[in-house]
Structure 1
Amino acid sequence: MAMTLAMAGGVSVAAQTAASASASAPTPAPVRAAADTCSYPYVCLFKNGTRIGQFQDVTSGFQDLPSRPSGPNLVVQNTRNDDVAYIRRANGITTCLPPKTSIGIVSGTLTGIRIDSRSTC
């Protein structure tokens, strides 16, 4: 389980309320990740432009986020070519992030991430 998650300057990381993974949910809008980089094949978390976490492994369940990032200015970027990433929020909503996309998280708290080998949400 390759997981890296660190606090940026002691600031809690943030989350946005986005669409759930249901079929009727809109596709996440692309967002520029940050000045910091996220290279293939990672799914990265950025807070205020600084990478605070990266994930690489395809897993059958969610990997918990020990820091429980929350607040504005959080971006999740999926650099993978053929794999979706699911982000789980404290309120139980799960959002699917298609390959090669990023989303901004403006409120809420992230509690987990899972990379799935499916190529579409």
Structure 2
Amino acid sequence: MRTSRQPLKRVAWAAVAVTGFLAASVGTAVAAPVAPAPATAPASAAASCAYPYVCLFKGGVKIGQFQDVTSGFQSLPSRPTGTASSPITVTNTRHDDVAYIRFDNGTTVCLPPEYSTNFTGTLTGIRISSSATC
């Protein structure tokens, strides 16, 4: 377990286009950062998502927060959809746990600890794992 607190890292990733993802053997995609993009939405989202939560934001409004480590995905009944002009921001404030985000097209993306990023596409589930790496 890390004892020092580091500032939340912000990375912009594309979630729907599988280009730029590294596929793992179980069909999980590990998102690779794309070109640096302005991170105004993730920065403001990170400010309103306290440790130890993984939070979802749409248009700067928190639409969900998750804390429990689970063995399976927690369904998102609202199925929020992010677009290029209005992405879903996911912020993982946990220091040692990754968060898996599942999309309606079957893609799963791993969000490392202390990261915030924007996604496009329809989110259907989230799972927090006690693993420190994707």
Verify same fold: TM over 0.5: yes
* 2:78 alignment partner AA: S
Partner of 1:82: 96
CA–CA distance in 2 between the matches of 1:21 and 1:54?
27
Partner of 1:118: 131
Higher strand fraction (1 or 2): 2
TM-score by length of 2: 0.69
Structure 1 runs not aligned, ≥5 long = 1-14
Is 1:40 aligned with 2:40?
Answer: no
Query: Equivalent residue of 1:68, what SS?
Result: coil
Contact 1:89/1:110 (8 A) holds in 2: yes
How far apart are 1:108 and its partner, in Å? 1.3
Contact 1:20/1:93 (8 A) holds in 2: no
How far apart are 1:27 and its partner, in Å? 4.2
How far apart are 1:47 and its partner, in Å? 0.6
Contact 1:45/1:52 (8 A) holds in 2: yes
Contact 2:70/2:128 (8 A) holds in 1: yes
After TM superposition, the runs of 4+ consecutive aligned structure 1 residues lying more than 4 A away are 18-21, 27-31
How far apart are 1:26 and its partner, in Å? 1.4
Question: Larger C-alpha radius of gyration, 1 or 2?
Answer: 2
Partner of 2:10: none
Contact 1:41/1:56 (8 A) holds in 2: yes
CA–CA distance in 2 between the matches of 1:42 and 1:80?
6
Is 1:22 aligned with 2:23?
Answer: yes
Partner of 2:65: 54
Partner of 1:9: none
RMSD across aligned positions (CA) = 2.5
Structure 2 runs not aligned, ≥5 long = 1-13, 25-29
* 2:105 alignment partner AA: N
1:53-94, Cα deviation, whole Å (9 max, x unpaired): 000000000000010000333100000000000000000000
Q: Percent identity?
A: 60
